[in-house]
């Protein structure tokens, strides 16, 4: 059973799966999704991480801050898809779950900024 779960998890990481109401995708698929200019790019890392480099056009809302949801509600339009990422994928999954609970449509970069090989600002 454990082996089957590992295989299924690996498949989801490769092709993108809906998990907890949001889509988790690899870097290649994420790059395709954010080409749509209506998709909001969201970096949920710390300010220091963001300043070291981020996906062009991404806005920063640090998910580790207590006011994450309040800031997100002020800055993020519910009628647009939110494409978010963190460093490795852990914090972005937390942020994705929080936003989905608030009614946002979310796509998450599964392995985070570490897996990103596209343009960086």
DSSP H or E segment with residue 85: strand 81-85
CA 98/CA 110 separation, integer angstroms: 16
How much of the chain is in helix, strand and coil states, percent to nearest 5?
Answer: 40, 20, 40
- Catalytic residue status for 86: yes
DSSP code per residue over 4-16: HHHHHHHHHHHH-
DSSP H or E segment with residue 98: helix 90-101
Which stretches does DSSP call E strand in 6-80? 17-19, 22-25, 40-43, 59-60
Among 86, 99, 106, 111, the one annotated catalytic: 86
Active-site residues: which are they? 86
């Amino acid at each position: 059973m454990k082996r089957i779960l590992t295989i299924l998890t690996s498949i989801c990481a490769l092709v993108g799966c809906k998990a907890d109401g949001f889509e988790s995708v690899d870097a290649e698929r994420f790059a395709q999704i954010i080409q749509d200019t209506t998709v909001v790019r969201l970096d949920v890392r710390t300010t220091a991480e963001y300043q070291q480099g981020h996906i062009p056009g991404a806005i920063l809302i640090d998910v580790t801050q207590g006011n994450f949801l309040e800031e997100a509600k002020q800055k993020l339009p519910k009628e647009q898809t939110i494409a978010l990422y963190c460093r490795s994928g852990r914090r972005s999954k937390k942020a994705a779950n929080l936003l989905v609970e608030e009614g946002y449509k979310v796509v998450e970069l599964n392995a985070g900024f570490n897996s990103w090989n596209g343009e960086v600002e």
